[in-house]
Chain A
Amino acid sequence: AQSVTQLGSHVSVSEGALVLLRCNYSSSVPPYLFWYVQYPNQGLQLLLKYTSAATLVKGINGFEAEFKKSETSFHLTKPSAHMSDAAEYFCAVSEREYGNKLVFGAGTILRVKS
């Protein structure tokens, strides 16, 4: 069965500092992995997705994530945080067996301090 664990329900960084949001997954087969961002009172916006083409995936707004099979991880990073990055971030996994279904983690709220 698929599952996603996001370590840290809240992360706080200073503006200009490195952003690191952690995601570990459980999957019996090679998964497809996604990061979504949710701003207050809005739906989810896709940041990036891993589809096995390359282990380092670049997304929108300067975010990137690295797939590490040995660690079953797909952590999200951004070199320099901006105030506009404050939002909630969700990691999600899908597997061929389950078709279109996404399984989400509980989310990490990112706070950016000025």
Chain B
Amino acid sequence: DAGVTQSPTHLIKTRGQQVTLRCSPISGHKSVSWYQQVLGQGPQFIFQYYEKEERGRGNFPDRFSARQFPNYSSELNVNALLLGDSALYLCASSETGAGFADTQYFGPGTRLTVL
């Protein structure tokens, strides 16, 4: 079975632009979470979606938004990009997303560079 897939792999944008990152979860998984990993740090939680509803949000500004589609895939949007948004964006899927013991499976990430 395919794992979590993300697109694009790499992306270069300039300050002030907008970006959309995409994620397809493992087949049968209904929850998707997004994390930001800045170079040299651990991943930071951005959002969790389950059954198209937002279930959790991390300490990120409103420039960050996301949504989940009926097929459980997800998009992360970032508006008005700043240099500090340069990071590896990781998507993780889990079966239910309803429990804190739910194992999350991560995709390879999208490397965003903001110039």
Contact = CB atoms under 8 A, between A and B. Distances in A.
A99 B97 contact: yes
Nearest to B91: A43
Contacts of A106: 40-42
A45, A99, A103, A104: most-surrounded residue (chain B CB, <10 A): A99
Contacts of A92: 42
Interface string B82-96: 000000001010100
A18 interface: no
A98 B43 contact: no
A107 B4 CA distance: 22
Contacts of A105: 42
Contacts of A34: 103
Contacts of A41: 108
Interface string A89-111: 01010111011111111110000
B101 interface: yes
Interface in B65-107: 90, 92, 94, 97-107
The secondary-structure label for the interface of chain B is loop
Interface in B33-73: 33, 35, 40-45, 48, 50, 55-56, 58
Given A32-B100, A42-B108, A94-B101, A99 B43 contact: no
Contacts, number: 77
B48 A107 contact: no
A36 B40 CA distance: 15
Contact of B48 (A36, A43, A46, A101): A101
Nearest to B97: A100
Interface string A55-95: 00000000000000000000000000000000000101011
B26 to A, nearest CB: 12
A14 interface: no
B103 A100 contact: no
A101 B56 contact: yes
Contacts of B108: 41-43
Interface of A: 4, 32, 34, 36, 41-46, 49, 51, 90, 92, 94-96, 98-107
